[in-house]
Amino acid sequence: MLKRQFYKFLRFILLLWGNSAVALASEVGVLATIKPLQLIISQITQDVTQESSPLLPPGMTPHDFALKISDLKRIKQADLVLWLGPKVEPYLVKIMNNKAASQQLNLSTLPAIQRLGLRSLAGGYHHENSELDPHIWLSPENGLHIANALVEKLSALDGQNAHLYQQNLAYFKRDLKQLDTFRNAFAKQQADYVVHHDAYQYLEVAMGLMPAAVVTSEPEISPGVRHLTELVELIRERNIQCFVAGPGLSPRLVSLLFKGQPASSYRVIELDALAGGPVTSYVSFIKDLSARLSDCVRGKAGGFNPQ
């Protein structure tokens, strides 16, 4: 009797293990190149696939990234790869050419995505450029378009879980409504602030903002003496008190731009367009950027002053 019960129990355990093994084996592996895209993946695939990390490690940008053997392995093993396209991530072109169209989501080809031209600096003013600004994920509308395209791809790859992807998409849309309070919040207001790296255009457009000046179009490019002199004069003449910095910006540049002014007279905020730090969702990432930029422009405390 006991022996028969034991064998029944053993068969039950083996059956349970076998079902789990099949589920794990059939689980769709989704990989994004950067963290903001991985945050969208995490919500759309919640309770369906295991959490994964983006291809680019923390602190790394597409500007200075080089593929390692381990990275190539991750890309090959992934069932679906989200990437920004050949112009932004040229190091992926060769390996992505060997990946089926059904196994990749090239965001540069999505027709619904809003695309803005890079703003170049000429005489201290902004002018549209023929090149496109790659920071498309900073637009909440683009975030939704990316999520929609992701669900379509995943449903084709994993039809048995299509209803779960659709359910998670509905939750994602619901959460995006938290950002409505920032939509065109400054459309009819004068907002003076200066940005170091011109990386936040999509977020600014969503909020109805336009910086008074930009220090550099790319973080690797140092501004010229003439441009810096014009910026110092502009900041003083218009009494600009908000400066938006990227990660790792030298305090010396800020001190130079606000030369002769006490540190208590201006605010400096650091906005990481690549979602560095303990960010857990796409909406909380965009909400945090929007709230801190809004507070800085409106003259509220919350920034840091470099010493």
Q: Which tens digits make up the pLDDT trace of 138-157?
A: 999 999 999 999 999 999 99
The pLDDT assigned to 21 comes to 38
**Packing angle, helices 140-157 and 162-176, rounded to 10:** 170
For the chain (307 residues), the mean pLDDT of every run of 10, in chain order, is 48 44 63 98 95 88 87 97 96 96 97 88 50 94 98 97 98 98 85 91 95 84 88 94 91 92 93 92 97 92 48
The pLDDT assigned to 12 comes to 46
- Give the CB-side neighbour count of residue 267, counting CA atoms within 13 A: 18
Round to whole Å and give the CA distance between 177 and 140: 10
Domains and CATH numbers, the chain: 12-120+132-179 (3.40.50.1980), 183-297 (3.40.50.1980)
The pLDDT assigned to 120 comes to 64
The pLDDT assigned to 307 comes to 41
pTM above 0.85, yes or no: yes
**pLDDT, tens digit (0-9, with 9 covering 90-100), for 1-41:** 544 454 444 454 444 444 443 344 468 999 999 999 999 99
Question: In the numeric block, which tokens belong to residue 261?
Answer: 């002014």
